[in-house]
Structure 1
Amino acid sequence: MAIAIRAKQGLTRRRLLARSASTIALAGLGGLVRPYLSRAADRPQIVCGIASGDVSAGSAVVWARADRPARMEVECSTIESFATIIRVASKEAQPDHDFTSKVLLEDLPPGQDIFYRVRFDDIASGIAGETQAGHFRTAPKDKSSISFVWSGDTAGQGWGIDPARGGTRTYRTMLENRPDFFIHSGDHIYADCPVPAEVKLRNGELWRNIVTEEKSVVAHSLAQFRGNYKYNLLDDNLRAFNAQVPMLAQWDDHEVTNDWSPIGTTDETGYAEDGTSRLVQRARRAFHEFMPIRAIPDEAGRVYRKISYGPMLDVFLIDMRCYRDSTWNKRDDRGDTFILGPVQLAWLKRELAASGATWKAIAADLPIGLISEDAIALGDGPPERREHEIADLLSFMKRAGVRNTVWLTADTHYTAAHHYDPNRAVYEDFEPFWEFVSGPLHAGTWTPGKLDNTFGPRAMFQKGCSAEQGENLAPCFGLQFFGRVDIDGRSEVMTVTLKDVDNRDLWSIDIEPRPDARPARILAEHF
């Protein structure tokens, strides 16, 4: 692996029309219902903005939410003026889904800027509602350059939307980067973290949140889970970003509650007849209602999936919550232990081995080597408990000749670059790889954590709050982070840059791809 580490200024990517960017960003601001901005009362309104997601070479999901029962009408064009309409789709928005609706647009041209517009028509009267416009770019069929961003953790630890401090500014900064898409690594909401009206900062100033009834308590009801998503969508920056940049959505723990597991996480409503937690059911339903995520046939509610973004990139979005064991990650616990589960692990092996893309980005909701009772690493030593699944996966990739994998994650509330090397590891049966961590988008910042030596990680860069600043540092102090990835269409070199809320490049690396080396025997074993 050829590696060059350097500071970079002003990373470039292919041109995206500045005029259309500003037009769409402004259109995205029209979704918040305010009495003094309301149009005719009998026209259906778009109340949480619009969004797109799970974009590929020929398809994408478009999402919106109405203020009443209505039919969502979506038109798309390759021309910003919509002089020619290439696809239309529609779907009803009904109360049982909180008036959210999403459609899958298919048979789109690859490598193309797609402009779409959304309106809701009243079901009872047929009156047409307001229209909002958005944009996404389909994946290329050729080796065109790609740029995307990733991060996680929004509105956590009581840090909600303070308009006087610019709201969730990181979304505005990411929009300025004009990425092809955005990977949200999880913790879209903090269902277990109410937002108070005021928080006193350590410098004596006051942080003043927008407050809502549903965001003022820990979420238990379906309405409260939905209210967490609606709260975040009160922010101008987030709605403008959603209207222009397609999202690949994962989830982590705070979409449900802190450190949840499938069994053992519940409230007074207990479990359904099939043994699943009703609390988790409600949280899962709200997540899928408010995320522009495509449904997977015969597996309703599944989050893990692969998104192909042209011949140079496959993104593997994994789920480290739904299939884990129900206990804390402690050495003295007994029984089977999982972080991915056998079905998802087998799927990931098959899809990695089958991938023909130059780069395989494994989007995880937790880092591998950070010591935590909630995550994977237990501390120094050979693989134990959940680490066995990671060891199995890494060894499989070595045997199968699957190369050019990078791991992208958030969760830690600081940003870091971790290089894993068998020459430093207790467990040595794998090839070196990188893991990049970024976040929070808009939440409390933490100090960097400790890594174990099981897989030989080394922190090549890390930035969070200092011990003097203390944990849960407010977003206004500037330690909010995201990462940017650029893949050059000619050299296929991947450049990863860790950035902050003010768009400063903190650290960067160029990684040269290596040829895959996949033995036919390994492929035959897994297909």
Structure 2
Amino acid sequence: MRLRIDRRTLLRAAAVGALAAPGLVRADRPVLTHGVQSGDVVRGSGLVWARADRPSRMVVEVSEDAGFAHARRVEGPVLTPDTDFTGKVRVFGRGRTVHYRVTAEDLDRRVASDPVTGSFRTPPARQEGVRFVWSGDVVGQGWGIDRDRGGMRIFRAMAERDPDFFLHSGDTVYADGPLTETVALPDGSTWRNLVTPEKLKVAETLTEFRGQYAYNLLDENLRAFAAAVPQVNQWDDHEVTNNWYPGELLADDRYTEKRVDVLAERAFRAYHEWVPLDPRRALDGRVYRRLPYGAHVELFVIDMRTYRDANGANTGPVGRILGERQARWLVDGLASSQATWKFVASDMPIGVQVPDGTAWEAVANGAAGPPSGREAELAWVLSELRRRRVRNVVWLTADVHYTAAHHYAPERAAFTEFDPFWEFVSGPLHAGAFGPNPLDPTFGPEAVFVQAPPAPNTSPAQGFQHFGEVEVAPDGELRVALRGQDGRELWSTALPTMA
């Protein structure tokens, strides 16, 4: 596919606000360019995000009423070029549903932008249930926003499920995935990408990394979903570059900056500017954190990217994919949780073989027998959970671009010092579909359900886009469903609690 873009496409992108320029917006007052988002909701509060087109102050009105009766004013940060004119502020509500209305005020306070509204639900009381959805992988493998095909329609399907929140399991953007204006499809039709300058090449500069997030928010479905459903975000590899690890030097000719650590720091800054994630809740200010959501649900968001060792044979007595500090934090947190169900939000699956050329990218190393390499670190986590009698732990993940339900059991495994558990895989949201990948026998996984495409890099036009749904009833009963692009249920199961 050749990289090409015409003037009409660039103007179309700018007109819907991706790269709001002074000549394309009202000159007399600020403009909120990319809608609003909320995230990292905890008891009584949530983080609200917005972006303006110029220096201004973010102001949020908060109310328990959709009409904003008795609204309370919260002054947020000044939006400046230092943060790409983005900002976020934690707002507090007095009821279950919190309505917010964001404006950007000129710094002299004479004029303000048109308001943009959103809402989020705070954690429920014990007598109420919880429903949330999860998935990952957005605008990957060359599949951008085709507005003639309705854009990223899966976000509308997820919104129709009316979830309490959305867990984004990584690959929130594809910073290493340039777009072309058109892509020929197998049926003879043409996929027509909306394209912006930052999506014409791999991201290397801070501006280019910022442009990845700006691009995704051009989609009307995503903007509407983000205004209505709070997010819990984690990252994986494509926020930086494919299969990256700390200290890596790239051999990819598309990059002039070969040092992954330099790229990762720029990507990390753009990620935190554009994603409604509260760094104060993260243990090291980056990604991994725990978020309780009522009596029955607690999320443990992990980071399998930042603390890993180099991709390689993934053998030997010890490997790292969490790092010692994060691994201990995870075990201690799960052991101390009072929630009925503890969900580990993992950016990669445990037992799926994910190659990186001749090396290994994820936990599994494709070898039968005792845990080795990164498997040894996960074996320690699983054995500690058994030793401390931590029950009702469920793993949720994405990454591999198909959907599956995996059950792990010691009677099928080479390593037996763990309690049986489920891992549910979903995705992609809007990317090429792949798979399924082989399973590694070390922890005894069984693929109870799989839906994958007939060929690699199947386009969103052909379906095979997926999200998962978790529903916990007021009495604590758990139901997990795997759903297709239109929200249709493909498979589901109910899990009993274990004492």
Q: 1:450 is matched with which residue: 431, 435, 438?
A: 438
Contact 2:318-2:377 at 8 Å conserved across structures: no
Q: Which residue of 1 aligns with 2:323?
A: 341
Q: 1:243 is matched with which residue: 227, 230, 250?
A: 227
Q: Which residue of 2 aligns with 1:375?
A: 362
**Residue 438 (structure 1) aligned with residue 426 (structure 2):** yes
Q: 1:396 is matched with which residue: 347, 367, 384?
A: 384
Q: Which residue of 2 aligns with 1:225?
A: 209
Q: Which residue of 1 aligns with 2:139?
A: 155
- With over 3 angstroms needed to count, the CA separation of the structure-2 counterparts of 1:219 and 1:397, relative to structure 1, is same
Q: Distance in 2 between matches of 1:424 and 1:474?
A: 35
1:375 partner letter: A
Q: 2:65 is matched with which residue: 60, 76, 79?
A: 79
Q: 1:484 is matched with which residue: 469, 475, 479?
A: 469
Q: 1:315 is matched with which residue: 276, 299, 306?
A: 299
Contact 1:323-1:340 at 8 Å conserved across structures: yes
Match of 1:396, SS state, is helix
Deviation per residue, 1:350-376 (Å, 9 max, x gap): 111110000000000000000121001
- With over 3 angstroms needed to count, the CA separation of the structure-2 counterparts of 1:31 and 1:314, relative to structure 1, is farther
Q: Distance in 2 between matches of 1:493 and 1:125?
A: 51
**Residue 496 (structure 1) aligned with residue 484 (structure 2):** no
Q: 1:165 is matched with which residue: 149, 164, 171?
A: 149
Contact 1:76-1:117 at 8 Å conserved across structures: yes
Q: Which residue of 2 aligns with 1:89?
A: 75
Match of 2:100, SS state, is strand
> Which shifted more, 168-177 or 39-48?
39-48
User: Which TM-score applies when normalising by structure 1?
Assistant: 0.87
Contact 2:31-2:114 at 8 Å conserved across structures: yes
TM-fit CA distance, 1:301: 4.0
- With over 3 angstroms needed to count, the CA separation of the structure-2 counterparts of 1:86 and 1:359, relative to structure 1, is farther
TM-fit CA distance, 1:328: 2.4
**Residue 358 (structure 1) aligned with residue 340 (structure 2):** yes
- With over 3 angstroms needed to count, the CA separation of the structure-2 counterparts of 1:296 and 1:125, relative to structure 1, is closer
TM-fit CA distance, 1:219: 0.6
Q: Distance in 2 between matches of 1:126 and 1:260?
A: 47
Match of 2:427, SS state, is coil
Q: Which residue of 2 aligns with 1:193?
A: 177
Q: Which residue of 1 aligns with 2:7?
A: none
Q: Which residue of 1 aligns with 2:447?
A: 459
> Which shifted more, 276-285 or 443-452?
276-285
Q: Distance in 2 between matches of 1:414 and 1:459?
A: 12
Contact 2:19-2:214 at 8 Å conserved across structures: no
Contact 2:125-2:294 at 8 Å conserved across structures: yes
TM-fit CA distance, 1:135: 0.7
Q: Distance in 1 between matches of 2:88 and 2:497?
A: 37
CA RMSD across the alignment: 2.0
Q: Which residue of 1 aligns with 2:6?
A: none
2:350 partner letter: I
Q: Which residue of 1 aligns with 2:162?
A: 178
> Gaps (5+ residues) in structure 1?
1-28, 516-527
TM-fit CA distance, 1:230: 0.5
User: How many residues end up aligned between the 2 structures?
Assistant: 474
Match of 1:454, SS state, is helix
- With over 3 angstroms needed to count, the CA separation of the structure-2 counterparts of 1:479 and 1:426, relative to structure 1, is same
TM-fit CA distance, 1:86: 4.3
Q: Which residue of 2 aligns with 1:202?
A: 186
Deviation per residue, 1:149-208 (Å, 9 max, x gap): 000000000000000111111101000111000000000111111010000111111100
Q: Distance in 2 between matches of 1:136 and 1:403?
A: 30
Match of 2:42, SS state, is coil
- With over 3 angstroms needed to count, the CA separation of the structure-2 counterparts of 1:39 and 1:190, relative to structure 1, is closer
Q: Distance in 2 between matches of 1:146 and 1:226?
A: 33
Match of 1:84, SS state, is coil
Match of 1:228, SS state, is helix
Q: Which residue of 1 aligns with 2:11?
A: none
Contact 2:439-2:445 at 8 Å conserved across structures: yes
Deviation per residue, 1:267-324 (Å, 9 max, x gap): 65566xxxx8211100110111111000227966420000000110100000000000
> Which shifted more, 446-455 or 180-189?
446-455
TM-fit CA distance, 1:34: 8.0
- With over 3 angstroms needed to count, the CA separation of the structure-2 counterparts of 1:411 and 1:181, relative to structure 1, is same
Please show how residues 36-75 of structure 1 align to structure 2 within 5 Å.
40-75=26-61
Match of 1:428, SS state, is coil
Contact 1:362-1:405 at 8 Å conserved across structures: yes
> Gaps (5+ residues) in structure 2?
1-14, 355-359
Q: 1:214 is matched with which residue: 182, 189, 198?
A: 198
Q: Which residue of 2 aligns with 1:420?
A: 408
2:200 partner letter: S
Match of 1:368, SS state, is coil
Q: Distance in 2 between matches of 1:33 and 1:398?
A: 51
TM-fit CA distance, 1:87: 5.7
Deviation per residue, 1:59-89 (Å, 9 max, x gap): 2100011000110001111101110124623
Contact 1:162-1:210 at 8 Å conserved across structures: yes
Q: Which residue of 1 aligns with 2:289?
A: 305
Runs of 4+ in structure 1 over 3 Å off: 29-35, 37-40, 265-271, 297-301
Q: Distance in 2 between matches of 1:164 and 1:114?
A: 34
Match of 2:58, SS state, is strand
What percent identity do the matched residue pairs reach? 49
Q: Distance in 2 between matches of 1:241 and 1:33?
A: 21
TM-fit CA distance, 1:349: 1.1
Q: Distance in 2 between matches of 1:143 and 1:351?
A: 24
Match of 2:442, SS state, is coil
Contact 2:283-2:289 at 8 Å conserved across structures: no
2:395 partner letter: W
Contact 2:16-2:218 at 8 Å conserved across structures: no
TM-fit CA distance, 1:390: 0.8
TM-fit CA distance, 1:512: 1.0
- With over 3 angstroms needed to count, the CA separation of the structure-2 counterparts of 1:49 and 1:140, relative to structure 1, is same
Q: Distance in 2 between matches of 1:284 and 1:345?
A: 21
Q: 1:102 is matched with which residue: 88, 97, 120?
A: 88
Contact 2:39-2:230 at 8 Å conserved across structures: yes
